[in-house]
Amino acid sequence: MRCIIRLVLLSLSIGLSACSIQPWVQSHERAQLADPIMAFEAHPVATRYINHVYEAREAARGAEGSAGGGCGCN
């Protein structure tokens, strides 16, 4: 939990420091970022399944991103 609190403080400091600078990538410059191949996870249902496989076979869990685990099974 201490690590989480540190991360919150870091995020807040980044956010506060961002007040003095302007976004450097404008909306019209994001064509490549908006390409579907740039999605972190293009298929949530498939991502959720593979994360379920990892969680069932590995001790590590958490920070999976948008399609997190929590398989509720034994």
Q: How far is the CB of 47 from another protein (least distance, A)?
A: 9
CA dihedral of 8, 38, 18, 4, whole degrees rounded to 10: 10
- Tokens 């991502």 correspond to what residue? 47
Mask of contacts with another protein, 23-42, x by CB under 8 A? xxxxxxxxxxxxxxxxxx-x
Residues in Cβ contact with 38 at an 8 Å cutoff, skipping those fewer than 6 apart = 32
**Residue 72 touching another protein (CB under 8 A):** yes
**Residue 63 touching another protein (CB under 8 A):** yes
Q: CB–CB of 52/68 below 8 Å?
A: no
- Tokens 């398989």 correspond to what residue? 71
Q: How far is the CB of 4 from another protein (least distance, A)?
A: 5
Contact residues for another protein (CB under 8 A)? 1, 3-4, 7-8, 11, 14-15, 18, 22-40, 42-46, 48-50, 53-54, 57-65, 68, 70-74
